[in-house]
Structure 1
Amino acid sequence: MENNVFELQYAMDTFYFLVCGALVMWMAAGFAMLEAGLVRSKNTTEILTKNVALFAISCTMYLVCGYAIMYDGGYFLSGITEVDSAAVLSDFAAREDGFQGGSIYSGASDFFFQVVFVATAMSIVSGAVAERMKLWAFLAFAVVMTAVIYPMEGGWTWGGNDVFGLYNLGDLGFSDFAGSGIVHMAGAAAALAGVLLLGARKGKYGPNGEVRAIPGANLPLATLGTFILWMGWFGFNGGSVLKLGDIANAHSVAVVFTNTNAAAAGGLIGALLLAFILFRKADLTMALNGALAGLVAITAEPSTPTPFEATLIGAVGGLIVVMSILTLDKLKIDDPVGAISVHGVVGLFGLLVVPLTNSDVSFSGQLIGAVTIFTWVFVASLVVWSIIKVVMGLRVTEEEEYEGVDLSECGMEAYPEFTASK
């Protein structure tokens, strides 16, 4: 009977990991649709190619070495396709806590859940550098980001490794439940480094510093992408509970789902209201980014706030993202989709607000963790982007940018005009 209990827990926790991982994988479609909707039509094919290719590269590079780096050697390449049932049962039968204890799941399910997080971090970069970066330069960076840069900082946080042997973030009281900093701020830091070297799109800023709006081509697609991301986030945060097979953790999963949804709603409302106050119009793109900002803000700790507190955290995230987008534009940091603001600025906010609802976490630990993550990813990315710039160049030509990178980089248009044929 006892063995049957452990087998049931193993099956439930493994299946839960896989389902949540599949939901997070679906976020790749959300990023693709969001970014395709917010760029101009002449750049749609290229941004879609980036998104589908970066997912494949992320999965492959994390398989090759990323997982082992992040978890200090790990066990993936040595027998993950096999399982010793007797050894698993013997190990957990010796524990006194039994079904009420920690997670028990297949190592393969753990890898699958982790690898889709890597792809999410890389997806953040693609939108920020859209419409003027060479496709192959971006994909070259994706190799390094997902093989080394992300796994290193992931190892210092979720992996429990010391930061270059100097200090341990866990010992300092750092906590990031599902990745406001580890995934989202890290992706934004890499994006910021690329954008600073790349420069703004032609025509984005006038000679006197005025900001010129460059509307996206397909707002229905952008809205669809936001809803897909919203849905996928339930797997992102919910799966990070790491267990389903007992009453306490099942309840925690339900709380996380509820708070995730509440924060997204609060973020959208906050951004929509502030945009209306500032522009006297209901700005759809700000509302969409507000929902995403609410999701990013709650990701650092969705299990301890009340639903009302989660709504307020999301709402503040929505307010922050509107002001951040406007501020970056004034600084002439051109981010076509607002990724740096949504994932970076609000990701930092999400980390710093954790101690308000989780007394086990220290503000100083959160701050040190945030600085560590940002500094490593930004500096390492800046070095890699600089090398790529010297070796193959980062930016397409002015003529290619004017005509659209769909033709120059992919040789096809997403929305070809009607042509007659005999």
Structure 2
Amino acid sequence: MEIGDLKVGLDTVWVLVTAFLVFFMNLGFASVESGFARSKNAVNILSKNFIVFAVSSLGFLLLGWGLMFGDGNGFIGLKGLFFVGGADNSPAIGDAYSGVYSAISWTGVPLWAKFFFQLVFCGTAATIVSGAVAERIKYISFIVFSFALTLVIYPIVGHWIWGGGWLAGLGFWDFAGSTVVHSVGGWAALTGAIILGPRIGKYTNGKANTIPGHNMSLATIGALVLWLGWFGFNPGSTMAADPNSISHIVVTTNTAGIVAVLTATATSWIVIGKPDLGMSINGLLAGLVAITAPCAFVSVPASLLIGAIAGVIVVFAVLFFDKIKVDDPVGALSVHLVNGIFGTICVGLFAQDGITGASTGNGLFYGGGFKLLGTQLLGIIVVGAFVVASTSIVWFIIKATLGLRVSQEEEIQGLDIGEHGSQAYPDFAPNVKE
């Protein structure tokens, strides 16, 4: 076997193994969200997280991949739109299809490996929405929205940034998706939560009432699964088994996560009066989201500072959304939207040119001035505006046709019975004799 063939083989194994880890994050999201929800909605949450990957995979296969990575213009891909352009499976696919998917021809792994890796990222963006709209959305409406998000909206933003589009041309950097994945999912979740409205009983007498999750053991297991998955999410985005880069990225990723756990726990202890486990879990996730964009562009000490700030931000973000009465049962907005934005800004603040080989230019704190920071801020604004506008249209269309929210009676009884005709814990239900 020649050296080139060996490299392609090793790179392909690396890309696919990390993709498998990202896929495994579906279990993490399902566990965290169902643990944070009430027991009467557990089946519904689990079912949404189970089916959303199938729905998003179909949307990305049918059209999303081509819109995202197909050659076209700065706004959208126009070539190779359907079924990955009917392309074959040869290792030299990066060269053979340079005129179809040239934006991702920089990695020499087979086309289907590239496709699957990007597919699991697309599925993650759709999963984020589930938690913020939990306990009151119709099952079918969530499915339809997820399909629209992954078929068109997510791929268009992805094209701008990762598909050779206009933001990439301006020098916008987002290594593993603080904006492409987390902010897109976060903006979509925000519009959904606002249009749906809060759960019954969440806000009464001008204050936010605590609605505790039913299983913090499950939520903790889910958080640890997500933590593991992030070791595929971030270093896998090299899409090559580059020893120095993946070693650096895995350490910046972990460092941000661990420090965010500590600062979120400390902040909740000071502000709320107790070291809240839910805040610790969301602190971890906030740190991991925040480091996702800059993980390959910043030093390990910078990642420590990024994580420390993210852990504080997430606690105040949770309190802020409650104050403005945007009901988010799992803290998805505080984790993915707020810290997705923060992580994208961190590229403009902390980036060091060439730290893992990428020519990002230096961030503000390393003598680069405001150029990179300005580009990052522009990207945040335009992505936010586009996703808010497009997802709002989709939400309102669904509301006018299928309806968005379950009935008041069904919401009070629980979506498990009303939507699925089953219960997560039937042995604990009252024994009603006929």
TM-score (norm 2): 0.88
Q: Which residue of 2 aligns with 1:241?
A: 238
Alignment of 1:56-75 (within 5 A): 56-71=54-69, 72=77, 73-74=79-80
Contact 1:33 1:225 (8 Å CA) reproduced: yes
Is 1:300 the equivalent of 2:298? no
Runs of 4+ with >6 A deviation = 87-92
AA paired with 1:373? Answer: V
Q: Which residue of 2 aligns with 1:123?
A: 127
Report deviation, 1:67: 0.2
Alignment of 1:145-156 (within 5 A): 145-156=149-160
Is 1:376 the equivalent of 2:374? no
Q: Which residue of 2 aligns with 1:39?
A: 37
Contact 1:102 1:243 (8 Å CA) reproduced: no
- 1:160 aligned residue (164, 185, 191): 164
Q: Can you list the C-alpha shifts for 1:88-121, whole angstroms capped at 9, x where unaligned?
A: 89999xxxxxxxx953111000000000001100
AA paired with 2:156? Answer: M
TM-score (norm 1): 0.91
Report deviation, 1:305: 2.3
Partner Cα distance (2:350, 2:411) in 1:
47
Partner Cα distance (1:278, 1:196) in 2:
26
- 1:135 aligned residue (113, 133, 139): 139
Alignment of 1:187-226 (within 5 A): 187-207=185-205, 209-226=206-223
Is 1:83 the equivalent of 2:81? no
Partner Cα distance (2:424, 2:46) in 1:
9
Partner Cα distance (2:35, 2:215) in 1:
4
Partner Cα distance (1:148, 1:297) in 2:
25
**Percent of aligned positions with the same letter in both sequences?**
43
AA paired with 2:84? Answer: L
| SS across alignment from 1:171 | helix
Gaps of at least 5 residues in structure 2 are 70-76, 99-104, 353-359, 362-371
Q: What is the Cα-based RMSD across aligned positions, in Å?
A: 2.1
Count of residue pairs brought into register by the alignment: 400
- 1:256 aligned residue (249, 257, 268): 249
Partner Cα distance (1:107, 1:375) in 2:
32
Partner Cα distance (1:353, 1:82) in 2:
38
AA paired with 2:136? Answer: R
Contact 1:304 1:358 (8 Å CA) reproduced: yes
Higher relative contact order (CA 8 A, sep 6+): 1
Report deviation, 1:304: 2.9
Q: Which residue of 2 aligns with 1:347?
A: 340
Q: Which residue of 1 aligns with 2:417?
A: 407
Contact 1:6 1:89 (8 Å CA) reproduced: no
Q: Which residue of 2 aligns with 1:331?
A: 324
Gaps of at least 5 residues in structure 1 are 93-100, 162-167
Q: Which residue of 2 aligns with 1:278?
A: 271
Partner Cα distance (2:80, 2:58) in 1:
16
Contact 2:136 2:406 (8 Å CA) reproduced: yes
Change in CA separation of 1:194 and 1:89 when aligned onto 2, cut-off 3 Å: closer
Contact 1:61 1:143 (8 Å CA) reproduced: yes
Report deviation, 1:35: 0.3
Q: Which residue of 2 aligns with 1:24?
A: 22
